[in-house]
Amino acid sequence: MSPNNAKVNQFNDIGGLTTQDDTGTSTAKLVSDWNSKHKDNPSTIDYSGEDVSKRLFDLENGEFDYLIFDKISVETIIKQKSLDLHVTEIKTKDNPNNYIIFADDQEELQKSFNEALEKLQESGKLEKLSKTYLGGDYLTHDNTHR
């Protein structure tokens, strides 16, 4: 997302712009990987330990140019705080996904969870739940993440 007056309408618009992120995150890697392919006009990453609400305030105040974060969280915060920010969906195959992590000793829980999730996905109920409670379809529709 970016301030409403910014010119970030697609992922390739980040060249020459500055973002904030945390060390070791999938979004920082996404920008770093993009930079390695665009060495002539890279994006600058300022590493920050701030929470996302503070970053959104800083973004709105022009302290940096754009932020990559999950859509559901930022749209909720933007609405609650009445921030003047624009959310642009990243259209790239490099877009990081989020995962549910289970402890090593939770194999049975993981198996039960995966089976229930598979049933919900196959029946179409998971997509309906996503649209109802998250405001859109946030599911991956390929089998590479199962």
Of 119, 141, 139, 143, which is closest to residue 131 (Cα–Cα)? Answer: 139
The answer as to whether 94 is a domain residue is: no
Residues 6 and 73 in one domain: yes
Lowest mean pLDDT among 25-29, 34-38, 55-59, 141-145: 141-145
Three-class SS of residue 103?
A: coil
Domain count, the chain: 2
Residues 7 and 63 in one domain: yes
- Residues 90-125 pLDDT 10s: 776 655 566 677 888 888 988 998 899 889 989 999
Confidence of residue 5 (pLDDT cuts 50, 70, 90): low
| DSSP single-letter state for residue 127 | H
- Residues 34-56 pLDDT 10s: 999 999 999 999 998 899 999 99
CA–CA distance, 11 with 15 (Å, rounded to integer):
9
Tokens 């993009």 -> residue: 34
Question: Which residues constitute the domain of residue 110?
Answer: 99-146
pLDDT of residue 94: 59
- Is residue 65 a contact partner of residue 6, using CB atoms and an 8 Å limit? yes
Q: Taking the model in full, what pTM does it have? A: 0.72
Residues 22 and 70 in one domain: yes
The answer as to whether 92 is a domain residue is: no
Residue 67 carries which side chain, given as an amino acid letter?
L
Residues 10 and 82 in one domain: yes
Q: Is residue 65's pLDDT more than 70?
A: yes
Q: Is residue 63's pLDDT more than 80?
A: yes
109, 72, 125, 95: CA torsion to nearest 10: -80
Residues 128 and 66 in one domain: no
- Is residue 18 a contact partner of residue 46, using CB atoms and an 8 Å limit? yes
5, 8, 13, 16: CA torsion to nearest 10: 50
